[in-house]
Amino acid sequence: MADPWLEAYNFAIEIAKKAGEIRRASESEIKISTKSSTVDLVTATDVRVEKIIIGALKEKFGDDVFIGEESASKKGACILTDEPTWIIDPVDGTTNFVHGFPFVAVSIAFAVNKELEFGVVYSCFEDKLYKGRKGQGAYCDEESIQVSDNKDIKKSVIISEFGTDRDRSKVKKICSTMERILLIPVHGIRGTGTAATNMCMVARGSVEAFFEIGIHCWDVAAGAVIVQEAGGVVCDVNGGPFDLMSRRMMCANHADIANRVIKEIEIFPSDRDDHLHIVNPYQAFKLLL
Ligand code: IPD
C-alpha cells in the first residue's frame, strides 16, 4: 500500500530547514510584543516565519487544518479534530531568540484522527534536524537516536522550565518542585528554553526526563513523536495518558524515571489549549497585519 503521509513528512523536513533561516534574522527584525503576560514574547519573525510555513503547506496541502502558535493567538482556541492537522511552532524559544541565547527551534507536527503521525524539530543554531515518524524510529539528521538506558534516578539529569506565567503561587510550586527533584538527589537540572529541543534532548539520551506545566500543543507535538520513536514515554504530569491540548507534559526515557519524578511534581492548574482565550488581541492583530 502506498505510504499516505510520506510526501507530507518529506515536505515538513524541507520547510523546517528553510524556516530555520530565521537564525539569520537581522536585529532590526526582532520587534518584540507580548502575548499572555509581559514575559510571553512574540517577535515579528515568529509571525513572518509562521506565515511562510503555513503558506507553503497550504499551497501543497490546502485541505488540511493548521494550528500555528501565532495564528492561534489570533483565533483564541485550537480544536483538534480527526482531520489531517499541522501543528506548528515557527520559533520555539522566542525568549532565547530575542536575547541571542543560541537554542531556537522550528517545530512541525502532523496528526490524523487526533493521533500524531510525525514530528520534525529543526534546532536552528545547532543546525540539527530531529525527526520521528510513527512506527519508523527517530533520527537526528540521518543518525538513528535512542533514549538513555539509565533507570537510576540518582544518576539522571532532568529538564524543566519556568515557563511564561509569573503568578506567584505557580512560580512557588515550580521552584518547590525543582528543589524536591534536586534533593532526590539527581545529577542536575537543565533547560534549553525551548520545549521542542528539550524533548529532543530526552530522545537523544542526553537527559532522562523533561516535564512542564503551561506549555502549548505546538511546543510539544513534534517532540512527542520523536521521544516515543526513540523508545521513550510521554504522559501527563500525573502519570495519566498524554493529552496534547492539556498544556501539561512529562516525557522520559523510561516509565520508572517518569514515575519517580512525578512523585515530586507540585501540580498547578493551567488552561487548556482548546479553551484558549486572547489576553492581548490588539497586539496580536497588529502583528498579523
Ligand atoms: C516556550 C518555550 C519554553 C517554555 C515555554 C514555551 P515559545 O515556547 O518552549 O521552553 O518554557 O512554556 O511557551 O513561546 O518560545 O514558542
pLDDT tens, position by position, 228-283: 999 999 999 999 999 999 999 999 999 999 999 999 999 999 999 998 554 455 54
**Residue 1 C-alpha to ligand 1 middle, in angstroms?**
39
Query: What is the spatial distance between Cα 283 and Cα 116, in angstroms, rounded to a whole number?
Result: 31
Query: What is the spatial distance between Cα 211 and Cα 199, in angstroms, rounded to a whole number?
Result: 9
Peptide bond into 185 cis (omega under 30): yes
Is the distance from CB of 95 to CB of 61 less than 8 angstroms?
no
Q: How many CB atoms lie within 10 A of CB 266?
A: 15
**Residue 194 C-alpha to ligand 1 middle, in angstroms?**
5
pLDDT: is 34 or 103 the higher one?
A: 103
pLDDT band at residue 27 using 50, 70 and 90 as cut-offs:
low
What percent of the chain stands above pLDDT 70?
92
Atom index in ligand 1 nearest the CA of residue 92 equals: 16
pLDDT: is 77 or 145 the higher one?
A: 145
DSSP letters of 86-126?
A: EEEEEEE-HHHHHHT-S--EEEEEEEETTEEEEEEEEETTT
To test the pocket of ligand 1, the residue of 92, 125, 198 to mutate (highest count of ligand atoms within 8 Å of its CB) is 92
pLDDT value at residue 45: 87
Domain 153-262: which topology? D-Maltodextrin-Binding Protein; domain 2 (3.40.190)
Asked if the model's pLDDT at residue 188 lies above 90, the reply is yes
pLDDT value at residue 286: 46
pLDDT value at residue 77: 74
pLDDT value at residue 287: 41
Query: What is the spatial distance between Cα 175 and Cα 166, in angstroms, rounded to a whole number?
Result: 12
Stated pTM of the model: 0.93
To test the pocket of ligand 1, the residue of 47, 194, 198 to mutate (highest count of ligand atoms within 8 Å of its CB) is 194
pLDDT value at residue 288: 46
- Mean pLDDT, rounded, of the chain: 92
Domain boundaries, the chain: 6-144+278-288, 153-262
Q: What sign does the CA torsion over 16, 92, 229, 240 have?
A: negative
DSSP state of 241: B
Nearest to 279 by CA among 87, 74, 89: 74
**Residue 95 C-alpha to ligand 1 middle, in angstroms?**
8
User: In the predicted model, what is the mean pLDDT of residues 134-159?
Assistant: 98
Is the distance from CB of 193 to CB of 96 less than 8 angstroms?
yes
| Phi, psi (rounded to 5 degrees) for 178 | -60, -45
Query: What is the spatial distance between Cα 199 and Cα 201, in angstroms, rounded to a whole number?
Result: 5
User: In terms of CATH, what superfamily is 6-144+278-288?
Assistant: Fructose-1,6-Bisphosphatase, subunit A, domain 1 (3.30.540.10)
Asked if the model's pLDDT at residue 128 lies above 80, the reply is yes
pLDDT value at residue 39: 87
**Residue 9 C-alpha to ligand 1 middle, in angstroms?**
24
User: In the predicted model, what is the mean pLDDT of residues 20-38?
Assistant: 76
